[in-house]
Structure 1
Amino acid sequence: MLDIIDTHQHLWNLDRLKLPWVEGVPALNRSFEISDYLKASASSGIRRTVYMEVDAHPDDKQKEIDDLTLHCKADSDVMLGMVVV
């Protein structure tokens, strides 16, 4: 069986990143972390994933990049790469 790569998912930790756009959306105004993603996708066959940026506040862009770089470099992590602008 081929491994599935999810090429587009968004994760964030509101203790680490400011995301002004989620403040008016109660369903999104919480952290969504890799543990949440793994639980939600457990039976999907997804083995690797690519992070897509989350429109973090400009002051937090480097923090977003640094945090995700750690995920991408960890051999035990499912994060294969990231797209951050």
Structure 2
Amino acid sequence: MKTEHITIFSGSSIIVKGLQIRLEESNIGSIIKDRVESARLGGFGEHRTAIELLILKSDIDRAKIIVDKYKEEINS
């Protein structure tokens, strides 16, 4: 069985971690892809919002509701 991950959100480390916790509370697994740390280790620069949160494509419908609510909270 092929599993496909998609990026559902990107932002700063703290913001991404907050969303990851909310998704975990709803039993939605996720992976953080930290390009900032990877770039630092490689000796390159990267924008601080280059941290992505990936989920399984099959969880997109459930996760979208949580992500939309989270975006409202952090933008208010």
The TM tier, using the shorter chain, reads 0.3 to 0.5
Structure number with the bigger relative contact order (C-alpha 8 A, sep ≥ 6) is 2
Q: TM-score, normalised by structure 1?
A: 0.33
